[in-house]
Amino acid sequence: MRQSIRAAIRLVLLLGLAAGATGCASVEPWVKPYERQYFADIVMSAERDPVAVSYLNHVFEAREGARGATGSHGGGCGCN
């Protein structure tokens, strides 16, 4: 009885491991070169509220005593 439970646990573990390993198998570019417009989609933006963002950036710049170099625009599609 105990042995069969142990075997079952081992089976579940092994299956889980194998399923997890599929995550590393083919991570090729998810977005193909001809699909790069999806990067420029609004949902790809981490900062969607311009008013709140400008306020936060103002506070951040005052605190750091520096401004600019906080990132770049666009998602790598070369479209803006």
Partner 1 sequence: MDPARRLLLACCLSLSVPGVAVAVATPGSAAPDFSLAARDGGKVRLADLKGQVVMINFWATWCGPCRQEMPLLAQLNTKYEPLGFTLLGVNVEPDSAAAVTWLKGMPVTFPILFDTDSTVAGSFGVEGMPSTVFVDRKGQVRYIHQGYKPGDEARYADMIRSLVKE
CA-to-CA dists, residue 6 to 2, 13, 14, 16, 72, angstroms:
6, 11, 12, 15, 53
**Does residue 46 bind partner 1 (CB under 8 A)?**
no
Q: How many residues bind partner 1 (CB under 8 A)?
A: 20
Could you say whether residue 32 binds partner 1 (CB under 8 A)?
yes
Q: Please, what is the Cα angle at 76 between 71 and 73, to 5 degrees?
A: 35
Provide, rounded to whole angstroms, the least separation between the CB of residue 44 and partner 1: 13
| Residue 63 DSSP symbol | H
- Residues forming the site for partner 1 (CB under 8 A): 11, 14-15, 17-19, 21-22, 25-26, 32-37, 40, 77-79
